[in-house]
Structure 1
Amino acid sequence: MTGTFPEDPVSGWEKALVARVTGYGIFRLSESGVVSSWNAGAALIKGYSAPEIIGKHFSAFYLPEDREAGVPDAVLQTARDYGSCETEGWRLRKDGSRFWASVSITPLWAADGTLSGFAKIVRDMTDKRLVHEAVRDSERRFRLLVEGVIDYSLFMLSPEGIVTNWNMGAARIKGYEASEIVGMHFRKFYTPEDAALGLPERGLETAAREGRFETEGWRVRKDGSRFWANVVIDAIRDEDGKLIGFAKITRDVTERKVAQEQLESARAALLQAQKMEAIGKLTGGVAHDFNNVLQVMRGNLELLARRHGRDKWSRERLDRAIEAVEQGANLASQLLAFGRRQALQPAVINLASMLRNMEDLLRRALGELISVEMVIDGGLWNTLVDVNHLENVVLNLAINARDAMPGGGKLTIELANATLDSHYHALPDDVSEGQYVMLAITDTGTGMPPEVRDRAFEPYFTTKPEGEGTGLGLSMAYGFIKQSGGHMRLYSEVGHGTTVKAYLPRSTEPVAEVAPSTPQAVIGGSETILVVEDDKRVQSTVVEMLTELGYAVLRADDAESALAILRSGVKIDLLFSDVVMPGTTRSVDMAKMAARIVPGLKVLFTSGYTHNAMVHGGRLDPGVHLLSKPYSREQLATKVRRMLLKPHAAQSRREASADQASTAASPLSLLLVDDETQTREAVSELLAQTGHEVLQAADANEALDVLNARPVAILITDVQLPGDSGIELAREARRRNPDLRVVLASGGDRPEAQSVGFDFEYLRKPFSEEQLRDAIEAIVPRRATSDDPDRV
């Protein structure tokens, strides 16, 4: 140690020891703070040699801001007042670098009690300080990280489950601010039912025992709303293994759960659709073959009945056999109904009149123990539906209700107008919003438990004992209503009965006139009928039935054989063909070619299963006549006779209006435009037979050339043409000649009048000669009546 100390009590060897210490800076200050001694440790720590620093004020070691704040003088004053001063802080070395110093200043007193200076000990604690700051910075960053996370709720719990801290994610997810929830038990986040079951405490117990607990469930926000939470609870223990609390992480996964539920629902719907499609295809094929078998049985039974029906014993057994055939046919019809593959022939009706007509039938079917009440709202809307199938649905539902009331009860049938929108029980995706007619059938029976109610519309599902039901009743009704564009719902509770509600779309059209179903005598004829049937047994039976009715009958096994007979020139009055035929030519295509070979030929189809050959949207195509298998002798005779005697609608109108007939009879110039040569030639031949002059064109350009060359009264054009469409052609043609009348033909749906922009008649391909004549007859009078209220 260098320098002198007045009245220094320190011995020489002590001074020598201090001078050699390098881990501590030990030096003396005067009473005013001037450095008066310096050891090796001070030189090493602060960078000053003794000559460089002795005589200078110790404030040179302080940061400028500390000097300005008077810190050096303050620490000396503290040492005077309290006998010592212990402090830490940043200090400066000679080179200007900083280090963290641990400082102890002790005042030195002379023998007379006067202050002689200060002893100052300095230690470089920079490394420890940096470690401390790193830890503190890490803790600060971690705290900011935890507090800043908003997608996860992160907080701590005491061992008893009390919330001890709270992050922003917890506030966002649960809705509580830290001041509102810290100190509260985390049970507050659970639903009342889960809290009552002790789930919060069970979670902590599991985490304490196993170290970790994870679960999912409904949790409650501050506002009372619920969310689906993924929760992880980890046990926190100290160095000795003592439980000091829990870390709880909560994530709001409601969107994931909803998406998962929607995916499961979509999978279930897809599985159901695939199942229904598979069953539909299966039942369609079974129905076709089954109905062929039934047709053979019924036809032969009726032939036997005509020969042996006078014998009472034989007649009774034949009647029982025929009744069994009808039951089989009904079963096949149900198979097609729940698969939504039956051929419907809907008409606009008012369900009130249908229900009143069924009242006596229902009372007889239900028996005396069941009282029937009908409630029909006034002003009931019309609906478009196949009335025969709907009557079967009502009867089946009523019988189901009767079976649910073995001890008697009450059946209420209600009709009312209804509007379905998005507020109606979360309207299913396959149900359109709009106006409907509701048919509700309610019984006071035993009702259904939820597991039965949820499966009631499934095919083959039944709770009846074996042998007492097919399991097709409700599914058949459901399939028919859905195929008719409607919707069905089932409401049932054990002990409180069942209500089935069917919604059928409203129709704004007037009620169709329905011919009275009075029994008609079986009448035959002498015309020639070509029967096309690949099943030899069915073919043989129907040929014998028609021959017995007096008709001349030819037969063919497939479409190619039938077309060969038609081309031979033999006179054929009616083509009677099965829909499902072997070979490359479909029966529908065969009928189109037959109409070109024999103009005016009547065509009657028969099938046990039409699939989509002539049924679109669940309905028969316009102009198609179908006799479903199995049919009776009377049904066959009546349908064939009506087909052969049915007059052309155009002819009926001509007879009804002599003025219009005179107008329509005048020869007209017609332009037919179709890019299919065979179709164009066939239709031209039909038009030529009416006495009109027919011009032809294959596309729009060729048609415009014809229109430029000569006047034309009527343009008949296919909608789909190469290049410009038929509609565009008609627009240009009418621009040149506003008086031109237009008939549009297409294999698709009728074009919207608003999008077309002009008046037109429409022909749906394939069209018959009768439909073609009707279109011309409908459009010709418009030459004189441009304000016709019946315009398209």
Structure 2
Amino acid sequence: MQSFLEGGGQLGLLLRNFDWEETGLGSPADWPTPLKTLVGVILGSNQPMFVAWGSDQVLLYNDAYATVLANKHPHALGRPFLEVWSEIRDDLIPIVDQAYSGLPVQMDDIMLMMNRRGYLEETHFAFSYTPIIVKNGLVEGLFCACNEITEQVLADRRREADSQRQRRMFEQAPGFIAILQGPDHIFEFANATYRRLFGNREFVCKSVREAYPDLSGQGFFELLDRVYQTGERFVADQIKVVLDQQDAGPREHFLDFIYAPVCDDAGQVTGIFVEGHDATEARSAQAELRKSEERSRRIIEGVKDHSIFTVDVDNTIIDWTPGAEAIFGWQAGEIEGQVVDILYTPEDQEQGIPALELQTARAKGCANDERWHVRRDGTRFFANGSVRPLHDADGKITGFIKIARDETERRAADAILRETEQRYRLAAKATNDAIWDWDLGANRVEWNEAVSVLFGYTAEQVTPTADWWVANIHPDDRVRVERDIQQVIDGDRDQWTAEYRFRRSDGTFADVFDRGHVFRDQNGEAVRMIGAMFDLTERKRAEDELRVLNETLETRVSERTAELVAAQDALRQAQKMDAVGQLTGGLAHDFNNLLTGISGSLEMMQIRIAQGRTSDVERYVGAAQGAAKRAAALTHRLLAFARRQTLAPKPTNVNDLISGMEDLIRRTVGPAIELETVNAAGLWSSLIDPSQLENAILNLCINARDAMPKGGIITIETCNRWMDKHTAEQRGLEPGHYISLCVSDNGTGMSADVIAKAFDPFFTTKPIGEGTGLGLSMIYGFAKQSGGSVSIYSEIDQGTMVCVYLPRHLGDAEAEAMETDVEPAPRAEVGETVLVIDDEPTVRMLVAEVLTDLGYTAIEAVDGAAGLKVVNSDLRLDLLVTDVGLPGGLNGRQVADAARAVRPDLKVLFITGYAENAVLSHGHLDPGMHVLTKPFAIDVLATRIRELIER
């Protein structure tokens, strides 16, 4: 069995048992070396990968890519690539053609409509196509590493839709809604209702106090402050507010609203959610309702010839009017609380008539009441009336009203009817409501002054008949109103309500709500209708305006949202460009100085050599090397800030490390500064890079010294710290165990603005030319890369304390190794060969020349594919030296893995400009693999190569 086909899970087994003779590839033993190498790479990877080989683009893939194929697997194996994906062939042909022309293709997101489970589905992929170039520069196939990101894209799309939907809901809400942020109550959002109600002012990004100064003294600012400080919501019921309506002047509103605190995950109040509605009209309507109820009560109490009383759902009397007292003889105090059965004859009680009446009223809404009743004195009379249910606001029956009339003296019925109608008309005309009175016999309509005001007609102008009245109803409403009137007259119902439009005297129409009651004679014939009308014109106009606003709401919201998004994008772009300009400007300034020292020294060396003055060359060599070392230190600080430096962490006792640095620190800060160390007993160890921590401590001490030009005290203190969730979040950490290392001084201190920028690269308060401004940013990057953080505590003229927090290591610290003198680099033994792969020609040349000077045979390769050709040859190889970031689709780690598949014992040395953690498995390398960080000393490179080969 071929070694490159070993392993690989299910696909490895399929590849080994597949009949490749029918595909044109032939036996795997005869496959070209690049194909073997790539097949070995994909079988050993957990990432979806495939190879399309030859003119037929025969497809070979791994288990992870089989998941992408879904139902197309396993039939896709060995078939032409474009035939497998026939439904997206048109999308793939341009990409495949580009790869087969020798140009690599990379896409971060491509949308493809795939049919891999029996139906078309939207999919998204990130991938790279790498052409495989063989002899004579011909492309024999392509290699692809891909990731399906469909779920991620769809999830982002759903989140964006949910956010837009919630914003539309808020914007379209009938009540007013606003969101306020921070203790100053800055407006973050306000919907259309809020803007319309409160005057369409400019309040975006303003505080409530800035946007509404006219609310001062009305208590609303204080309510918001209290909700923000206490976290307790406030509910308001018809609170009065006076707002300046600009041209209209102050206007009084009554509002129902809620101030609800908005909290973060830690329970801290970050803002206030405001929701409510204008209750001004409702308050006015309630006042009108109370007036109407009072009028009805006075009318009812004034009716002496009707028994009007109410009972609850258990038929117990709960209200007794003067009319009931007059008819039945009981006073209210005597009868209230009694069961209504007392008013009925024994025969009615035995038949369950009282309960039956309530049951009928509950089912039909009304029950006729024509029974023999008994007076208080025991005489009986015939009562004619009705029973009607009473409802609460939710429509639930709470009781019944019973209206009865004594008809014992039938001969007085007509007189009673006329007297009642006259009293009703007089009472109606005395009110402010628009009252009409229609005498059905005379076909004549009378109205009070309120009707004249509503429609503009006066009694002198017209004496309307019922026909004239109906003729002036709007033609669209006329048939419906005539039908309703006829139903009332025919006796189908005693009440009527309707909405219609009636012509004014100026020819326009008024919207009215009309309700009335019919009076009948003793034979049940309708003789009169009396009713009241209410003007609905303003309400209808408001409804029309609201409908127009709703129809244009989505357009206005879209326009406003687009404006906000554009403004936010412009702000973010300006901030990003400002940060990039600051970083690149500072970096260019420092590197230009260093490059001047290097290039100038090299030019002077060239001049002196040409002049034959070689005695000066060594001085310029030293100057160039010094500038190069400072440039390396600058890049080291930049990588530390970016958290991309290569660290060598090990368990470290920070107390011991500080003790070993005390003499160095004292010499550095000078005699005017006093140094104190306070080392915590039993300090935990931490897994860190000791040399980087030493560099950080020295930088902090130098900063402290510069803050005390007249001398002072520097204190270095260590401590064990356990941080709960709240404390850890304040410092940007996860909860857990940490050690703290704090360097404090009693110098000039730092303002809040300076502290906010202290960790920015190239930010410094020192004069130009003193310091790079990378010290604190390097310390911050080192701490973050080590799993910790940095905090600054300072007051002007009081001093500064910088604390570095590092995670605890559960284990003992390692003892420091004794430094030894560096011995000369050992020379190679006969025949020892090293393969060097690096796309940078200068680096590749220097490494090769060092190897040659030491006696090694050096073989150079420009990329991974060229290097693997050497690996697959019969040449002796003792060591592979490769850069991590390589062109051509194969990085250094992939090349090393492929080389190990062919030569399992091959030693590998990665050389890199920064730690590519994802490629190097976050520092977890296989045995025989090591890392050396650029730039490196030549003697260090030579020693490391010798050590690796001898192992």
Question: What TM-score results when the alignment is normalised by the length of structure 1?
Answer: 0.47
Question: What TM-score results when the alignment is normalised by the length of structure 2?
Answer: 0.39
